[in-house]
Chains A and B, each alone.
Chain A
Amino acid sequence: MTEDEHREGIKGMANPGRYGIERIAYLLMRLTGLGLLGYFIAHVYETSNILRGRMGWDDFLAMTQTTEGHIFLVLVIGMCVFHTGNGIRIMLGHGGVGVGQPARPDYPYEPASQNYRHKIGIYSSIVLAAVAMMYGMAVMFGE
Chain B
Amino acid sequence: MKESTIMKIHYGTALASVGLVAVHILMRLTTGFADSLSYENVLANYRSVPYVIMLELILILLAVHGFNGLRVILLELKQGRVYEKAVSYGSIVGMIALIGYGSRTIIMTNMGMV
Contacts and interface: CB of A to CB of B under 8 A. Distances in A.
Touch test A–B (CB under 8 Å): yes
B46 to A, nearest CB: 7
Given A37-B70, A40-B62, A87 B37 contact: no
Interface residues of B, number: 33
A47 B114 CA distance: 13
A34 B14 contact: no
B32 interface: yes
A143 B33 contact: yes
Given A51-B108, A139-B29, A30 B102 contact: no
A36 B59 CA distance: 13
B29 A50 contact: no
B42 A44 contact: no
A57 B114 CA distance: 11
B59 A61 contact: no
A104 interface: no
B38 to A, nearest CB: 8
A50 B46 contact: yes
A50 B43 contact: yes
B109 A143 contact: no
Contact of A44 (B43, B69, B102, B114): B102
B83 interface: no
A84 interface: yes
A143 B73 CA distance: 39
Contacts of B76: 13
12 contacts: A30-B73, A34-B73, A36-B66, A40-B66, A47-B105, A51-B105, A54-B39, A87-B14, A91-B15, A139-B29, A139-B33, A143-B34
Interface of A: 10, 13, 30, 33-34, 36-37, 40-41, 44-45, 47-48, 50-51, 53-54, 57-58, 61, 65, 80, 84, 87-88, 91, 94, 139-140, 143
Given A40-B63, A50-B39, A53-B114, 11 more contacts: A44-B59, A47-B42, A48-B101, A48-B102, A50-B43, A51-B105, A51-B108, A51-B114, A58-B39, A65-B34, A91-B11
